[in-house]
Amino acid sequence: MGLATAWALARRGAQVELFERHGHIHAHGSHSGHTRVIRHAYHEGSDYVALVSRADHEWTSLGQRVGEQLLVRCGLLEFGASDDPAFMAAVAALGEHEIRHELFDAATARARFGFRVPSDWPACLSPDSGYLRVAPCLSALRAEAEAHGATLRYQTHVRELILGGARPRVLLNDGTCVAADQIVVAAGAGSAQLLGPTLDSTKPVERLQVLRRVQAWTRAAEHLRPGMRALPVWAAFVPEGFFYGFPDNDEGISGFKLACHTSSDPELAFMYEPVDPEHVDRTVGDLDLQPLRAFLARYRPDAGEITATVTCLYASTTTEHFWIDQHPSDSRVVIATGFSGHGFKFAPVVGLAVADLTLEGHSKLALERFSRRAQ
């Protein structure tokens, strides 16, 4: 989000300096794992729908400008029990927002896509959704930000945010203090630490928490891989939790990727325990893989064994809605955080919105839901 903000501000002629603690793309934050779902029917709120649509447009035109495919429009398959409220809300949102989709029964889902969908469950395909290729997306934003004069300083850790005074400042780890007319804090899992002393922990949105998640890749038998590669992105609303994944592809790690967003297994309650982003255990153990293996055994036994894993951090608000707003005690500081495990697809539109807030103090984009007051 910081990079997208630098991109949007630089294109509007602002003088931009970005400080990134690690490198351009890395595995310490929220964007690791090479691919991200882009879905268009947001049942979490209709205001998201217009933002996804704008983000889709921005990713597509950015890709055309840099000559690279950023968005793979392979479609999104969703399935679940017809009494699953989240699944039914997702299906209803498709109709409500007139998003192209096809509803079918379990037998059709099994025959077309190979998932072992229980016989009385419906399924749905929305062909215009798909996935974003993380590295090309971030590299395209970087290339345009730099072409428009943004200075991107990597391996540069911001230790402290200093509010008040004639201009807000950041203190870097090497002791340098940098003042600016405006500052944007888009530090993902590092946001609470940076904003901490200035936040009121009694307000829900300000109780940012960091959750650890695991993404895994499997390798199907070679003769099955062409079929796995032709799959859409998929989301499964099953009694065991909410699982999602990607067609077999070669983005960073070759294979069929899947992950568990929520689990109903009490043994996995640790998934909801906040972690300290500075001391995350990145070793992936059997308990991490338990829900994924159980999902594969029941719904996708032909996917093969898990061959690779990557940990990733959700930087979540308690409502799971983003936090995009001016700082509560200094309007010269804009906050863009709390993307709660579903923000990547929005990056360019978040960049545009944050650029509006920074340069004009308001935006025509629908940001009310993301303000501190709304939460």
Ligand X SMILES: Cc1cc2nc3c(=O)[nH]c(=O)nc-3n(C[C@H](O)[C@H](O)[C@H](O)COP(=O)(O)OP(=O)(O)OC[C@H]3O[C@@H](n4cnc5c(N)ncnc54)[C@H](O)[C@@H]3O)c2cc1C
Which positions touch ligand X (CB under 6 A)?
Answer: 1-2, 19-22, 28-31, 33, 36-37, 157-158, 186-190, 194, 213, 215, 259, 312-315, 337, 339, 341-345
Q: Which CB, 1 or 74, lies closer to ligand X?
A: 1
Contact assessment for residue 249 and residue 36, using Cβ atoms and an 8 Å cutoff: no
**Whole-number minimum distance, CB 111 to ligand X, in Å?**
26
Q: Which CB, 110 or 369, lies closer to ligand X?
A: 369
Distance in angstroms (rounded) separating the CA atoms of residues 355 and 90: 31
Q: Which amino acid is at 282?
A: R
**Whole-number minimum distance, CB 161 to ligand X, in Å?**
9
H or E element in which residue 238 lies: strand 233-238
User: Cβ contacts of residue 9 below 8 Å, gap of 6+?
Assistant: 16, 150, 351, 354, 355, 358, 359
**Whole-number minimum distance, CB 338 to ligand X, in Å?**
8
**Whole-number minimum distance, CB 119 to ligand X, in Å?**
29
**Whole-number minimum distance, CB 105 to ligand X, in Å?**
26
Burial 204-236 (b: 16+ CB within 10 A, else e): ebbbbbbbbbbbbbbbbeeebbeebeebbbbbb
Q: Which CB, 259 or 334, lies closer to ligand X?
A: 259
Q: Which CB, 47 or 110, lies closer to ligand X?
A: 47
**Whole-number minimum distance, CB 134 to ligand X, in Å?**
8
Distance in angstroms (rounded) separating the CA atoms of residues 265 and 284: 18
Which two tokens mark 186? 């888009």
Q: Which CB, 106 or 180, lies closer to ligand X?
A: 180
User: Cβ contacts of residue 173 below 8 Å, gap of 6+?
Assistant: 156, 157, 158, 159
Q: Which CB, 2 or 75, lies closer to ligand X?
A: 2
